[in-house]
Structure 1
């Protein structure tokens, strides 16, 4: 299969005249797969009403069929045909956080979306992205677009065009070349099928941010990853490069002694540069412990880059103290490291 490339970078922030929209709409209407940029990560999009098209997503990614997809929209009115109810509390959160990096799991009204998109569930996760190119496409195509991350299942999610091209060129119909994703981690997924709500997957929108809008609306989740997942990223191995990764927890302000330092990369905040062993490679993750937004933005790109470094055989990555702000990045790091951790 020849994968079509549409370069729309120069239109990202300063023009409403987006080229190629007719071509892109035609591919989606004909059941094709196109990777598109969002502010979180690049998504692999297909018409969520087309069973054959959604099946192609699972095939292209090598994704388990019980792993549900998120449906992306441009306007809240698009939810009416396939969402059973939107409570007043959910509506308040949608109005405040959309467009943006949060997905809401809502009760499904059957018969509009194809069965494959839900992973067999009676609910569906929906999101309204804020990326200007993604929004222009969703508005013009005027279809609900099912879009997991545009990568081989289990690998780090793509935050650049190059990541998508490396993984899926020749496997999908097209890739839209946009800017590097601003957030760098997948969206928060909020389960709104019961109240109080639960965070099924942490992301840029945190529990405290939600509770600041609706006090006590969110409680800590207690989902079992080994049962049927209700959101992407819960049950299966995710976010892992081929290079083995180990999380390093600090002893005070000092990196613990690590014996196996040859051919190793240390992915740490800039403030720890002087402590990195001379025989190892230092890769800056962010400025310091408080620079979480930069760490989120950089994480997946660094994990992708590791696998292109022939001289790096292993990586050690800085482990943040887990709190409301760091929950999302530590969730991704722990999965990338298969829970390997030293220094604690």
Structure 2
């Protein structure tokens, strides 16, 4: 199969591929998603095959608004409607109980709930409208690898496996949406993202945040809860404190292989990079770091291969919760310690 690059003025062609049961990657404000007709079970199953994704890892359904959700979900609560009004279109995924038989188990992982999102990207909203169906849309990458923030990232992983990629340039947010479970008594954050716990509570009151680890035989309610995610080829080491960077750079210089460095521009002020290290800027603050995290991991995979990556950590608060959730998973919870020095 030849994977075609669709431009925004070719939405009709991309939609025709979707309607024909094919897979088309699409842009959102967070990362690129791998789209298929959510009402076409055969097409949905192809998403799992293309990504190499476990079939018990449920998919997020992308819609253009509340009316589509109401076709599939049980009646929405006042809190759910308030969240939709406040954050859609945007980086918030909401899990609802479904009407019986509303969506295929291929979409839901066999659960009686499904996750819905209204992305904040006009090109993709136009694609959904043109296709006339909601789209499943996990990140458009090989399962377990860093999420794609550029069309070329998608092409690298899925060329020849999908019909096309709708290219709308770089994504704006760079980390996936917040996933909030509205099927429980207390709304529960299953995956932190760009919409923070504080922002949610300002609209609906108390929410619960969970870092529940899903068991081997348990089906996760949301993506990213059970399986390894976001991992580049090189081992990532999280540098937790600015004061640790001098030791971290010393360790990098002791290695025989090339080492990648991912940090804010000012973090390494006054320090000298060893000759075997390459710097990838995370920008000037936490929002820019969140935006550039996956791009940096992809850079060291595709353009400048290294054997290890030192990446800056942040406080696990606000947007930092989303950043550290992704970074910890990409590193397999491995943090740099001074014990690594020779």
Structure 1 distance, partners of 2:247, 2:327, is 18
Structure 1 match to 2:273: 277
Contact 1:105 1:125 in 2 (8 A): yes
Structure 2 match to 1:267: 262
Change (3 A) 1:98 1:343: same
Change (3 A) 1:241 1:276: farther
Structure 2 distance, partners of 1:124, 1:39, is 21
Structure 1 match to 2:166: 176
Contact 2:29 2:171 in 1 (8 A): yes
Contact 1:276 1:282 in 2 (8 A): no
Q: Does 1:108 align with 2:98?
A: yes
Structure 1 match to 2:208: 219
Q: Does 1:6 align with 2:6?
A: yes
Could you say what secondary structure the match of 1:341 adopts?
A: coil
Structure 2 distance, partners of 1:276, 1:80, is 57
State the Cα deviation string for residues 68-90 of structure 1 (Å, max 9, x = none): 00000012111122101210011
- Identify the match of residue 53 of structure 1 among 43, 56, 59: 43
- Alpha-carbon deviation of 1:224? 2.3
Structure 1 match to 2:324: 330
- Alpha-carbon deviation of 1:309? 4.4
Change (3 A) 1:220 1:161: same
Structure 2 match to 1:98: 88
Structure 2 distance, partners of 1:277, 1:56, is 45
- Alpha-carbon deviation of 1:260? 3.9
TM-score (norm 2): 0.92
Contact 1:34 1:45 in 2 (8 A): yes
Higher relative helix content: 2
- Alpha-carbon deviation of 1:307? 1.2
State the Cα deviation string for residues 196-233 of structure 1 (Å, max 9, x = none): 211000100010011111222x1221522333211001
- Alpha-carbon deviation of 1:319? 1.1
Q: Does 1:313 align with 2:307?
A: yes
Structure 2 distance, partners of 1:322, 1:228, is 26
Change (3 A) 1:120 1:318: same
Structure 1 distance, partners of 2:118, 2:5, is 24
TM-score (norm 1): 0.92
- Identify the match of residue 143 of structure 1 among 103, 122, 133: 133
Q: Does 1:239 align with 2:235?
A: no
Structure 1 distance, partners of 2:166, 2:200, is 32
Q: Does 1:24 align with 2:14?
A: yes
- Identify the match of residue 75 of structure 2 among 65, 85, 102: 85
Structure 1 distance, partners of 2:242, 2:166, is 44
State the Cα deviation string for residues 152-181 of structure 1 (Å, max 9, x = none): 000000000110111111100111111201
The farther-off stretch of 79-88 and 333-342 is 79-88
Could you say what secondary structure the match of 1:283 adopts?
A: strand
Q: Which 4+ stretches in 1 moved above 6 angstroms?
A: none
Structure 2 distance, partners of 1:254, 1:224, is 31
CA RMSD of aligned residues (A): 1.6
Contact 2:26 2:165 in 1 (8 A): yes
- Identify the match of residue 292 of structure 2 among 289, 294, 298: 298
Contact 2:190 2:222 in 1 (8 A): yes
